[in-house]
Amino acid sequence: MKMNEKSPNPYIGTMDQLARIRTSVLDDGRGRGIRMADVDNGSGLRFTVLLDRGMDIGDASFNGVPFAYQTPVGLVHPAYFEPDGLRWLRSFGGGLMTGCGLRNVGSPEAENEMRADGPLGLHGRLSNTPAEEVSVSKGWKNDRYELSVTGTVCEVSFFGENLKLRRTVSTAMGDNSISICDSVTNCGVRSSPLMILYHINAGFPLLDESSVVEGKVKSTVPRTENAAAGIGEWGVCQPPTEGYAEQCFFHDVETDADGFARMSLRNSKSGLAMEVAYRKAELPYFTQWKMMGRQEYVMGLEPSNCHPDGQTAEKDGGTLKTIQPDETVEFRVRISFAAQRL
């Protein structure tokens, strides 16, 4: 039956019977107090937007199949965030998409006594900052029933930066994809570094030894000597391996006619697949994080506007992006799924 705003379904009393957004608050453990928005597009796609964790995407499933890797850390409220050094890992729960930035991505920075908030820790503050001005939207648009969650995440300091990220996470009935539309505005009076990375974390059952990473890759650079040793098999997945050391590869990916570059993870045995499409004009870099350890078994597909080596390394390499007062920069990412219904 074809439905639209002018021709509602006579068999239902509300569209929430078919597709909905439901907000809730966790009430247990270190996750207590986290606001969430659970989205169900009525077409097999379900995911959770973590409103109090930088508008990250937590759980995600398609046709009953979970796609996101979950760490043993679980969901942790930003009140427990430890920003220094590598302690970001103490609140990294994984999930489909963890936002990194807005002023540091990757390696933590050394102490800087001129910086009001101290050294920049691993992957910045974005994922551990609650959103404000949050809203949900459900309705017909051009014969599509669209569902979206929108919020603003601020990274601000007196005498320092004043950055505002406005994020909309959306899907529609009949779709197999999640769209992330971001705009970052410098609301301050001075320029600021701008670093952002979309830490997209694929896990089992999509990820196993039958999976391969694919894309129109023009060139690949290993991040470390350990990665260099495995560059010949960057797209091949191994079974969970005791003592596995993570490998990162920097891919230059060709764009399609729409300006988007695409990388995918496909499982030839199960038929499961996930594709990450990103607008390359604003996100010129792509990091593949390959972690094949026991219980630490995850493939990261990570578009970004920087390398994950910290602000100082980007500045020294001449690739650090900055945003000027009153300037707005937009980013677009789309995550698509394929799975037979369980």
Instruction: Give 81-132 as a DSSP string.
Output: ---STTGGGGG--B-SEEEEEES--BSPPPP-TTSTT-S--TTBSGGGS--E
Reference 143, options 41, 7, 39; nearest CA is: 7
- Is 102 inside a domain boundary? yes
What is the pLDDT, as a whole number, of residue 242?
98
Q: Helix or strand or coil: residue 249?
A: strand
- Is 216 inside a domain boundary? yes
What is the pLDDT, as a whole number, of residue 9?
85
- Is 129 inside a domain boundary? yes
Binned at pLDDT 50, 70 and 90, residue 119 comes out as: confident
- Is 10 inside a domain boundary? no
What are the residue ranges of helices labelled H in 264-320?
Answer: 311-317
Tokens for 189?
């009076």
**What is each CA distance from 245 to 86, 89, 146, 310, in whole angstroms?**
16, 16, 42, 20
Q: Is the pLDDT of residue 8 over 80?
A: no
Which amino acid is it at 198? Answer: Y
Phi, psi of 256, rounded to the nearest 5 degrees: -90, 180
For 134-183, the pLDDT digits (tens) are 999 999 999 999 999 999 999 999 999 999 999 999 999 999 999 999 99
In whole angstroms, how large is the CA radius of gyration of the chain? 20
224: CATH: 2.70.98.10
Q: Are 48 and 174 in contact (CB under 8 A)?
A: no
What is the pLDDT, as a whole number, of residue 96?
99
What are the residue ranges of helices labelled H in the chain?
Answer: 225-229, 311-317
- Is 4 inside a domain boundary? no
Per the structure, the complete domain to which residue 100 belongs is given by 15-338
Q: pTM of the entire structure?
A: 0.96
Give the whole-angstrom CA distance, residue 188 versus residue 208. Answer: 46
What is the pLDDT, as a whole number, of residue 299?
99
Reference 182, options 203, 147, 156, 153; nearest CA is: 153
- Is 326 inside a domain boundary? yes
**What is each CA distance from 329 to 43, 165, 293, in whole angstroms?**
32, 9, 37
- Is 260 inside a domain boundary? yes
Structurally, how many domains does the chain consist of?
Answer: 1
Give the whole-angstrom CA distance, residue 54 versus residue 36. Answer: 11
Q: Is the pLDDT of residue 295 over 80?
A: yes
- Is 6 inside a domain boundary? no
Q: Is the pLDDT of residue 341 over 90?
A: no
Give the whole-angstrom CA distance, residue 8 versus residue 87. Answer: 51
